[in-house]
Amino acid sequence: MSELAGADLKRAWDSSPDSQPQDERPRAQPQPKNYLALSIFSCFCPAYPINIVAFVFSIMALNSYNQGDIEGSRRLGRNALWVAVASIIIGLLIIGIYCVVHFTTHVV
């Protein structure tokens, strides 16, 4: 009985990550930026269809990385960045135009 337990213990130890040398471990690539925080921030700007697209790109970049597609994750993250920046710029333009129209039209 102890022989069987010893074999199970040896098999468990051989398959554990602590027993493998450092060179044999697969090297995981770092996660590319998905700009999730920026796309969430852009959702507060009044350019609603555009900032939702940035948020979707950001989530898709995260999902691509989780599925192992590093290049796809990098590409989707870059798209999320540009769409979020465009959303913020368009939102600031909308706010600026609203303020100009509101404060220059005096009703007497």
Concatenated DSSP letters of 54-101: HHHHHHHHHHHHHTT-HHHHHHHHHHHHHHHHHHHHHHHHHHHHHHHH
Question: Are 32 and 76 within 8 A, CB to CB?
Answer: no
Predicted model pTM: 0.69
**Can you give the pLDDT at residue 5?**
62
Question: Are 47 and 83 within 8 A, CB to CB?
Answer: no
The token duo for 52 is: 């939702």
**Can you give the pLDDT at residue 74?**
95
Q: How far apart are the first and last CA of the chain?
A: 98
- Residues 25-44 pLDDT 10s: 455 788 899 999 999 999 99
DSSP 8-state symbol, 17:
G
- Residues 57-101 pLDDT 10s: 999 999 999 999 999 999 999 999 999 999 999 999 999 999 999
d(CA 36, CA 69) in angstroms, rounded, equals 18
